[in-house]
């Protein structure tokens, strides 16, 4: 132990833009680099924890994006001065969001600080983020993030230990202790993938998965291609798929070295930003399966042969329908299912058939936590490429791929055939999302106000809209609000819903994860019982046109085309 280190109080002034969004505080790196900006926010997180903070242990992890190291050093110094007794930190600051969640639960610690802006681009010109997770391993609920925000508006000082030597501290595995003001302060640097790999081995049958990937005398190797998009999952993909499951480092995985700027790509697994993977599968039909992950490893995109695309909403429904082939669910049973409100309702049909509870929550993984803790939820997902279960309290990209491969192994069917079988049984919830990124905040707000006014008018319900020979009649319209069934907390203004009498839906939301301007999202869904094999964009075109007409999007934003279609 080194000599006694002294903590000091540093005067500071508030910033007025530290309100956490859907998933923590996300801003340009340059914003976090301002004097005291990161310090203020970290101090406010710790202050929001109240009395529990003293003597506590916290986990620190993230996707290793640019600015992670200085931010971790700041956290170490501020935590030590605020009487945190221990920090458990992923080596080099690397620990995927699901691995942080697993670690918080495993080690039974107070919580964790996750340094990531998820799927947003990284590097000095791009985004950084800080998010707090609570002791169940999940993102802090609104009530805590609101407290943090209130504190950021009136902070006057933070406490730190400037002489605590943090240089290269996160590079080397092992435990270091310091004497801070007569207290022992411990920093443990761990390989965060170890516990995570052990957890996955507990959930899935690795023997069967290995046989699927390697092939057996009875069945040829199932040819996969996993794309980590230069994000944090590279480490986990190598450890799980290459080391444990025998995948080829040359042919089955790509972009598996985490880079602090993600190689200047947008690490978001969807048809636009993961186009490279889509093209690779289209170019080589020997691939049976493809998957991509986002920067911090909680999102996933699933593709079949020839880049057959599985919407996240369908992915959730297929998993729900086949969970019993996964050892974890055999052992623990299956409670209810849940999806975020904009996610297509395919899983609702599975829940109805299997007699399970189904919940519809606002966008944001934090809304699933209470239901899981109360034992009412086993599997959930979001249209935004998030899928996960109650094994942790975050969505989990690698888990989703292992779950899909388990089902493929069990059914001995390819992705496309599984989907076609599913649609034949349940009908198909066609879904697409149109994103208009970086619109002017003012015009995006005007569009939402226009929609508010429209649905407030009593004559809107009952109105019919026609396009492309199809007609839709409004059955209900509202701004979604949610009452948590466990703690009765209320979340209002979660998105404008226009529900038509045949079950079709148009949803409008402003994104809560951007770092500049406003992103307008339009979610479009219709249900077909028989006609299940049409291209989604063709099937949904009339409803898309109606959605654009109702919102007058072109008038408000001047945009002709969306930036991204998923
Ligand atoms: C993050 C959250 C998700 C959420 C998604 C979309 O990934 O963890 O729960 O669905 O952001 O958020 P946005 O507000 O941008 O639509
Ligand atoms: Zn993410």
Residues forming beta bridges with residue 337, ordered by sequence position: 358, 379
Distance from residue 21's CA to the centre of ligand 1 (Å):
9
Q: Do 512 and 421 share a structural domain?
A: no
Give the distance (Å) from ligand 1 centre to CA of residue 493: 15
**511 within ligand 1 shell (Cβ under 6 A):** yes
Structural domain of 557? 428-565
Q: Are 515 and 23 in contact (CB under 8 A)?
A: no
Spatial separation of the C-alpha atoms in residues 521 and 341, rounded to whole Å: 13
In a domain, 478, yes or no: yes
State if residue 133 touches ligand 1 by the CB under 6 angstroms criterion. no
Residue 80 shares a structural domain with residue 28: yes
Total domain count for the chain?
A: 3
* Whether residue 118 lies in the annotated active site: yes
- CATH number of domain containing 154: 3.40.120.10
**Which residues lie across from 521 on neighbouring strands?**
435, 509
Ligand showing the shortest atom-to-Cα distance for residue 23: 1
Using most ligand atoms within 8 A of CB, pick from 363, 381, 433, 491 the residue to mutate for ligand 1: 363
> What single-letter DSSP state applies at residue 237?
H
Residue 271 shares a structural domain with residue 359: yes
Can you tell me the distance from the alpha carbon of 12 to that of 8, in angstroms, rounded to the nearest whole number? Answer: 13
Please report which confidence band the pLDDT of residue 515 belongs to, taking 50, 70 and 90 as the band edges.
Answer: low
Q: Which of these three, 374, 394, 426, is where a domain ends?
A: 426
Percent helix, strand and coil across the chain, each rounded to 5?
40, 25, 35
| ipTM for this prediction | 0.94
Give the C-alpha separation, 363 to 341, whole Å.
7
Supply the pLDDT for residue 22. Answer: 74
> Quick one: pLDDT band at residue 513, thresholds 50, 70, 90?
confident
Percent of the chain with pLDDT over 90: 92
φ, ψ at 194 (rounded to 5°): -60, -55
- Pick from 440, 445, 514, 448: nearest CA to 480: 448
CB-based burial label for 250 (10 Å; 0-12, 13-18, 19+): exposed
> Which strand (E) or helix (H) includes residue 71?
helix 68-81
Task: Pick the atom of ligand 1 nearest to 139's CA.
Answer: 8
Residue-wise pLDDT tens digits, 27-74: 999 999 999 999 999 999 999 999 999 999 999 999 999 999 999 999
Is ligand 1 within 6 A of the CB of residue 270? no
Based on the fold, state whether residues 419 and 433 are members of the same structural domain.
Answer: no
CA of 564 to the centre of ligand 2 (A): 17
Closest Cα to atom 3, ligand 1: which residue?
364
pLDDT in tens, 449-500: 999 999 998 899 999 999 988 899 999 999 999 999 999 999 999 999 999 9
By C-alpha distance, which of 267, 80, 79, 104 is closest to 190? 104
In a domain, 2, yes or no: no
Residue 545: inside a domain: yes
The verdict on 497 and 417 lying in the same domain is no
Q: Please give the structure tokens belonging to residue 305.
A: 């042969």
364 Cβ below 6 A of ligand 1:
yes
Ligand 1 contacts CB of residue 384 (under 6 A)? yes
Strand order across the beta sheet in which 564-565 lies: 464-467, 470-479, 496-500, 505-510, 518-528, 428-439, 564-565
The rounded distance, in Å, linking the Cα atoms of 23 and 267 is: 16
Last residue of a domain, one of 426, 460, 487: 426
Among 426, 449, 476, which residue terminates a domain? 426
- 23 shares its domain with 77: yes
Tell me the pLDDT band of 2, cut-offs 50, 70 and 90.
Answer: low
- Regarding whether 105 and 68 lie in a shared domain, the answer is yes
Options 7, 56, 96, 118, the catalytic residue: 118
Q: Are residues 124 and 254 in the same domain?
A: no
pLDDT exceeds 80 at position 3? no
Task: Please tell me if the CB atom of residue 348 comes closer than 6 angstroms to any atom of ligand 1.
Answer: no
* DSSP assignments along 235-272, one per residue: HHHIIIIIIIT---TTTTEES-S--TTGGGS----STT
Residues 96 and 234 in one domain: no
- Rounded to the nearest integer, the mean pLDDT of the chain is 95
Residues 219 and 128 in one domain: no
What is the Å distance from ligand 2's center to 391 Cα? Answer: 17
Assigned domain for 128 exists: yes
The answer to whether residue 48 sits within a structural domain is yes
Asked if residue 141 belongs to a domain, the reply is: yes
Determine, yes or no, domain membership for 1: no
State mean pLDDT over 544-562.
Answer: 91
369-415 pLDDT tens trace: 999 999 999 999 999 999 999 999 999 999 999 999 999 999 999 99
Contact 42, 115 (CB under 8 A): no
Q: How many CB atoms lie within 10 A of CB 207?
A: 9
Question: Are residues 325 and 442 located together in one domain of the fold?
Answer: no
Examine residue 551 and state whether it is found in any structural domain, yes or no. Answer: yes
280 and 422 part of one domain: yes
CATH of the domain at 522: 3.30.310.50
DSSP 8-state code for residue 21: B
Ligand 1 atom closest to the Cα of residue 514 is 15
């Amino acid at each position: 132990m080194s000599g006694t280190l002294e903590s000091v109080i540093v005067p500071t002034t508030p910033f007025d833009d530290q309100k956490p969004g859907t998933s923590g505080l996300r801003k340009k790196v340059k914003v976090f680099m301002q004097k005291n900006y990161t310090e203020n926010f970290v101090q406010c997180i710790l202050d929001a924890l109240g009395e529990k903070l003293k003597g506590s242990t916290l986990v620190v992890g993230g996707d290793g994006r640019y600015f992670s190291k200085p931010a971790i050093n700041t956290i170490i110094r501020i935590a030590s001065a605020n009487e945190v007794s221990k920090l458990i930190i992923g080596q080099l600051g690397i620990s995927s969001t699901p691995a942080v969640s697993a670690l918080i639960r495993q080690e039974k610690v107070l919580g964790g600080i996750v340094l990531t802006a998820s799927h947003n681009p990284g590097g000095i010109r791009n985004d950084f983020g800080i998010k707090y997770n609570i002791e169940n391993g999940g993102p802090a609920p609104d009530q805590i993030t609101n407290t943090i925000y209130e504190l950021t508006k009136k902070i006057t000082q933070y406490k730190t230990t400037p002489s605590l030597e943090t240089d290269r501290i996160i590079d080397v595995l092992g435990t270091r202790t310091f004497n801070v003001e007569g207290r022992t302060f411990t920093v443990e640097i761990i390989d965060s993938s170890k516990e995570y790999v052990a957890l996955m081995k507990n959930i899935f049958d690795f023997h069967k998965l290995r046989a699927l990937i390697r092939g057996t005398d009875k069945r040829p190797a199932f040819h996969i291609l996993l794309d980590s998009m230069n994000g944090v999952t590279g480490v986990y993909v190598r450890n799980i798929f290459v080391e444990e499951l025998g995948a080829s480092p040359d042919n089955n995985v790509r972009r598996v070295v985490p880079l602090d700027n993600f190689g200047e790509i947008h690490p978001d697994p969807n048809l636009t930003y993961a186009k490279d993977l889509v093209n690779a599968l289209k170019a080589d039909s020997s691939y049976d399966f493809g998957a991509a992950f986002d920067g911090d490893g909680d999102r996933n995109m699933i593709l079949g042969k020839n880049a057959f695309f599985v919407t996240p909403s369908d992915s959730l429904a297929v998993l729900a329908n086949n969970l019993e082939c996964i050892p974890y669910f055999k052992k623990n049973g299956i409670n209810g299912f849940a999806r975020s409100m904009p996610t297509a309702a395919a899983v609702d049909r599975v829940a109805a058939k299997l007699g399970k509870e189904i919940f519809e929550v606002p966008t944001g993984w934090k809304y699933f936590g209470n239901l899981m803790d109360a034992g009412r939820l086993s599997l959930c997902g979001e249209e935004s490429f998030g899928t996960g279960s109650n094994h942790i309290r975050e969505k989990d990209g690698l888990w989703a791929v292992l779950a899909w491969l388990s089902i493929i192994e069990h059914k001995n069917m390819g992705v496309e055939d599984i989907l076609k079988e599913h649609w034949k049984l349940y009908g198909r919830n066609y879904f697409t999302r149109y994103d208009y990124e970086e619109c002017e905040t003012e015009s995006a707000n005007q569009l939402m106000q226009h929609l508010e006014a429209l649905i407030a008018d009593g004559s809107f319900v009952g109105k019919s809209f026609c396009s492309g020979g199809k007609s839709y009649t409004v059955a209900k319209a509202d701004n979604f609000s949610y009452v948590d069934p466990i703690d009765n907390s209320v979340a209002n203004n979660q998105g404008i819903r226009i529900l038509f009498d045949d079950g079709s839906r148009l949803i409008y939301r402003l994104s809560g994860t951007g770092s500049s301007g406003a992103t307008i999202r339009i979610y479009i869904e219709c249900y077909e019982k028989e006609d299940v094999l049409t291209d989604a964009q063709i099937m949904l075109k009339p409803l898309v046109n109606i959605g654009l007409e109702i919102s007058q999007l072109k008038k408000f934003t001047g945009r002709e085309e969306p930036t991204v279609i998923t």
